[in-house]
Amino acid sequence: MSTPTPTRRGNAARRPAAIGIMLVGLTFALLTLAGTTPLGIGRPVDDPPRVKLDERVFSCTGGLGADRVLSGNLDTGLAKNRTVRSKPLRIVADRTVARGAFAGQESVVGKKLAWVPCPEPHAEWWFAGGGSAEITHDTVLTITNPRPGAAVIDVDVYGDDGAVTAPGLHGITIGGRSTRVVDLGRSAPTSGNVAVSVIASRGLVAVTAADTFAPGLIGKKVQEWLPPQPAPSKTLVLAGLPSKPGLAALTLVNPGSTEAIAKLEVIGNHGTFSPEGLAPVTVPPESVTTLQIADVIDGSPMAIRITTDGRVTGTIRTTKAGDTSFATGVQALRDSTSFGLPQGTGRLVLSSLGEAGSVKVTGYDSRGHAVLTRTVAVEAGTSAAVKLTSQVRYVQLVADRATVAGAFSMSPKNGIAAAGIAPAIRSTRLPAVRPGW
pLDDT digits 0-9 by tens, 173-232: 999 999 999 999 999 999 999 999 999 999 999 999 999 987 665 667 899 999 999 999
Domain with 70, as residue range(s), is 51-429
> Is 425 part of a structural domain of the chain?
yes
> At a CB cut-off of 8 Å and minimum separation 6, what does 423 contact?
331, 332, 333, 334, 335, 337
Indicate the pTM of the whole model.
Answer: 0.86
The pLDDT tens digits of the residues spanning 128-184 come to: 999 999 888 999 999 999 999 999 999 999 999 999 999 899 999 999 999 999 999
CB 115 within 8 A of CB 69: no
> Is 63 part of a structural domain of the chain?
yes
Please list, residue by residue across 239-271, b when 16 or more beta carbons sit within 10 angstroms of its beta carbon and e when fewer do.
bbbbbebbebbbbbbbbbeebbebebbbbbeee
> Is 35 part of a structural domain of the chain?
no
> Is 146 part of a structural domain of the chain?
yes
Least confident of 104-113, 155-164, 301-310: 104-113
> Is 12 part of a structural domain of the chain?
no
CB atoms within 10 A of CB 168: 10
> Is 20 part of a structural domain of the chain?
no
> Is 19 part of a structural domain of the chain?
no
Report how many domains make up the chain.
1
> Is 260 part of a structural domain of the chain?
yes
Across 48-64, average pLDDT: 79
